[in-house]
Structure 1
């Protein structure tokens, strides 16, 4: 950023403003995503952030860096989005078959995975931090925290802002921010194991083959005993291998249009597949390998027919 760019942007030059924020757009989008847990919501929040920054740029006094100022706006808008979302939950699609009774509940119906391809837009050093903080297990843990706890954890432990800076962004005192950070750290999940590379690719290949053939027995052979299946934005969850198998059999028997074709992508550092039914995109399935990488610990089936576009995948297969 140069003072000339900032002066031009303040005087109403939209191109100068775009040049100012361009280097920060992806990291701001990631910050919004970590707090709200949804790529769609992060898109909307980022647009609000940039509009608010454009309209309020004349009030930017330069006492902090432009990056810090933008993160303050992004944090506030993301927390507002979390609060507003609680009043308007996303509707879940009705299944075209009679599913078995769920054995659990998944409360984070807004959840979406973050495409690894978007992380590649960051510089290499930032990519390392970003990949660790968009793993679904970590993002789910953030959604379970009180919103301001999640925000201060992101600001201090992921983005390296000081407690004082985080307190200023949240309009609270440093003592309160320190207390939020301590509670958030105690609830933060343990680091996940590193990607086991070839093991994960082999597991993903076996899963894709069995899932696309509706070979439920073969899928179950790949699961841990305590594996669970969730399907945002639906709240139903199936826990343990037998319950997962009951659902998959009901789905295979009652699904109109035959079996799925799967197209491989990666999301949150984990194997994922865009699902195509009769050539049309029908959401995405993501698997979480177990600690040793030899089995599948969870399956997330995202019932969002537009999710594939975030991964740069086509609406239909030819």
Structure 2
């Protein structure tokens, strides 16, 4: 495959890698809603890239990169959903409910707006087929024929799932409280945030367990206190960053703001603790799109900088 024109193949491969990276936010919008979690959605995206580019030279043989990546991500997400026993069976009668093509454009626009504004976690209440079709059509604006090709079903089946899914999503949105209540931050997280906001990097390194691990999307993982300690050296170069305790999807996280008065965070991180020491850090600094879809609630804790604000 590389015979005669290695430079051309290398340029094409690098171009495809750059294009694939540019597709990450769109892939995440799909995977997060399919999984019902911005965190799980990014795990699927990360796994998709690991699987897709294990042999970069094979990229040159990929006819259409975007549908190829979406198919890998879709199949990986379904594997995870099945393994967690969360997949809901699609009623057979749904195939009889075909969406009316004669509906006005204004109604279609309203449907799309509702889907886009729906919290990521609520999509998990839909059967998987309805979930996939709603996301692809109403969130990503994919043509019906391309949705059918990706899911391996007919266009009429796509229309059926779309009709049933939209109706269910309206019911879900009508009965679901839009935001969870603010919670109180844990002592460990408050300690971490206060040390960070005071720029006490040595104090933060002292919190690391010897076998601590660090994971950042698009970067190789780090392990061990010495290597992970470099994490704070990198953050020390970014002046003005301000941390606040927060919650997302029932998980205590740390919201990272560009400066103390910034209206919304650029990203977030979450920590795991063992006997008062940090054993794991998951940082989303390089994939800010994860925070864009997150329903993040600042913790209410007078000992820290959080004010209970809902973002």
The alignment's TM-score, normalised by the length of structure 2, stands at 0.46
The alignment's TM-score, normalised by the length of structure 1, stands at 0.45
Higher relative contact order at CA 8 Å, sep ≥6: structure 1 or structure 2?
1
